[in-house]
Each structure stands twice: as structure tokens, then as C-alpha cells.
Structure 1
Amino acid sequence: MAEQPSGNSGAQGNPALEEAGSSQLVSHEDYLAAVEAVLMVAEEPVSPAELATAVSLPQHQVQALLDELRAEADGVTENWPGDAPAGAPRQRGYELREVAGGWRYYSRARYAEQVSAFVLGGQTSRLSPAALETLAVIAYRQPVARSAVSAIRGVNVDGVVRTLVQRGLLDTAGTDPVTGATLYVTTAEFLERLGLDSIEDLPKLSPHLPGVEDLEDDASAV
């Protein structure tokens, strides 16, 4: 993209160049690159509010920059007034996702096999079926005590829950007011691993598990 000219005309042509709250005018490309640089070094999703503080822009302008960066990574061309004609867009090997209340760059899913081969050297560390089942129960029933999870699964889950907590996928959330048992919930790390923004984005179970309502009734009686 060509650099926007300084002055009010550039600010009016591009939402990311509205009043910047600075005595020195900075080009749209500079703001875009600054947000990109912050996201490149982030080890966890960064919220729009945090980005706004980092680049000294209002949050709604940062959102416009994020939308542009995501479109750019996806190979979608969005020309602003005054931009030079763009060439054929290329989809990047990475993508910008909104997960767990923030934004972060990820390698594109279609290249997961190649990335895993490089990062893990063929070695994978996966959760056991028991851990996955326990995690699923807690994700859909949270906050929930271990005794309730054990009742649903029919086995003791103490060791599995400890493992999930150690991996950062579960955390405690107080105690049950009646029994005093510790309650467990999923974490932001869990959402990030699944590429979800919130628990509400979990797929509905009913279409896949007929009779799941009866299971929920049984669990609530524990």
C-alpha cells in the first residue's frame, strides 16, 4: 500500500488515521506495522485494549487495523482511497485469529502436518482418551466438582484432573456452597488451543448425542 499523505485528507480517507492523539502524524502503514509487530512477539492472545495502549490509538481504530491484517493474511485485498493498485493477493502460511478474548497469529491449519514435523520432529504429546473425555465433561458442565465428573464417567478422575490442571487446561473456581468440593473450569489456554473465543462457541452436543438431556439431568442430581 502507498503511504497516505499527511493532513486531514488522509485521516478522513482511512478509519485508522483518525485523530491519533499525537503531535506527530504517522502513516497508516506505520500503525499497521506496529500492531503487527506486537502480535508477532505475543505468546498469548492480545486484547484490542492492550493493543490500543501499545500503539496509542483508540480501540475502534485498532479494530480496523486488525481487520485489515487478517484480510491481508487471508489474501483478501482491501484498498483504501489513495492506495496504489494492489497485485494478485497471496494467502499467507499464517492467519490472524480472534481467540480467548484477544488476537494472535497462528500457522495456517492446512500446514499443520509440516509445522508439526518441524516443531516436534515427529514426536507428539497428546492427551489420553480418558483426559479428553474428562476435559469434555468439564467444558460442558463447568463449574463442576470432580465427584460429579466421576459420576458421569463412571471412574475416578482425580489423577486426570490434576494432569489437566498441570497442563494449564483447567483451573479451580472456588468451592461448591453445599458440599464444599472444589469446582473446576476450563482456562483461556483451553480456548486458545481450540481456537475459540468463548465457551459459548463450543459445538452443541444435542445433534450428535441423542439423549444428552437425560445425561445432564442425571449429572445435576449428583
Structure 2
Amino acid sequence: MSLREVESRWRVYSSRLYADAVGAFIVEGQSARLSQAALETLAVVAYRQPVTRGQVSQVRGVNVDSVMKTLSARGLVTEVGEVGGALQYGTTTEFLERMGMASLDDLPELAPYLPELADVDGEGR
């Protein structure tokens, strides 16, 4: 067992040696893998939170209602507020724990992987 700090709280973790057995016991048949769509949606929420479903759909270019329900059911995203009648979502402590992060500050920088803003806007250089 090990003790880790996550969002100013302490959590007990099992040894990596027994992670498979402990995970199987806790999940009891549930699939722990996320689809590519779920991973992409989760990334948008993580980096842009708080964010509405509509905003996530706009970034991804597809409807994300069912994916957001899946992520919410798995405890990875949660409602964090409301703006203009639309619910806003953010990641949970469960998300941080599964990603092995203490806070959202541990998310890697996206800048090296993004095109220049002018290229995205179609203005070119």
C-alpha cells in the first residue's frame, strides 16, 4: 500500500504488483477502457473546464451527449455549474487519481502539439 496526496487530500493506493487483482475486484466485470471518442471528450473537458456539452461538441465536431453520460457514470466528469441555462462540466478527483496526477496543474502543455492560431482560423501566414 502507498499513500498519495491528490487535491490536498490523502488517498491509499495498492501496490502496482497487485493492481490487476485489486482492479478486477473493484470493477467486477466493468470495462475499464474508454473509447477514442470518450478519451477525446475527456481531454477537451480536462483542458477547457468548466465547459458545456455544446462547447465540447463544437471542439470535437460531433454530438457528445452519450459520451458525456458515460464519462459521468464512470465518475470522470461531473456538473460544476451552469451558464446561460447550460450545465458546465469539469473533471473529478477520480479522473486525477486514474491519471496519476495531484492536480490539473500536472496536465501536459498542449502548445507544442497545436497548429498556429492563424492556420486554424484559415488566415495562413
Query: Shared fold (TM-score greater than 0.5)?
Result: yes
Q: Offset at 1:148?
A: 1.0
Change (3 A) 1:145 1:118: closer
CA offsets, 1:39-78, max 9 Å, x none? xxxxxxxxxxxxxxxxxxxxxxxxxxxxxxxxxxxxxxxx
Q: From the superposition, tell whether residues 118 and 192 of structure 1 become closer, same or farther in structure 2 (CA, over 3 Å).
A: closer
Higher strand share: 2
Aligned-pair identity (%):
53
Structure 1 stretches of 4+ with a deviation exceeding 6 A read: none
Question: 1:206 corresponds to which residue?
Answer: 111
Unaligned stretches of 5+ in structure 1?
1-93
Q: 2:86 aligns with which of 181, 186, 197?
A: 181
Report the Cα offset of residue 136 of structure 1.
0.6
Instruction: Give me the TM-score of the superposition, normalised by structure 2.
Output: 0.78
Distance of aligned partners of 1:146 and 1:118 in 2 relative to their CA distance in 1, 3 Å threshold: closer
Contact kept in structure 2, 1:100 and 1:192, CA below 8 Å: no
**CA offset digits 1:94-135 (Å, max 9, x no partner):** 3321113212221344x3xx53156428x6521111111101
CA distance in 2, matches of 1:119, 1:187: 19
How many residue pairs get matched? 116
How many Å apart are 1:149 and its aligned residue? 0.6
Please identify the structure whose Cα radius of gyration is greater: 1
User: Which of 51, 63, 69 is residue 144 of structure 1 equivalent to?
Assistant: 51
Superposition RMSD in Å: 2.5
Matched, 1:153 2:60: yes
Note the residue ranges of structure 2 that are not aligned, 5 or more in a row.
none
Residue identity matched to 1:115: A
Contact 2:14/2:22, CA 8 A, preserved across alignment: no
Question: TM-score scaled by structure 1?
Answer: 0.46
1:165-193 Cα shifts (integer Å, max 9, x gaps): 111111112222xx422111111111122
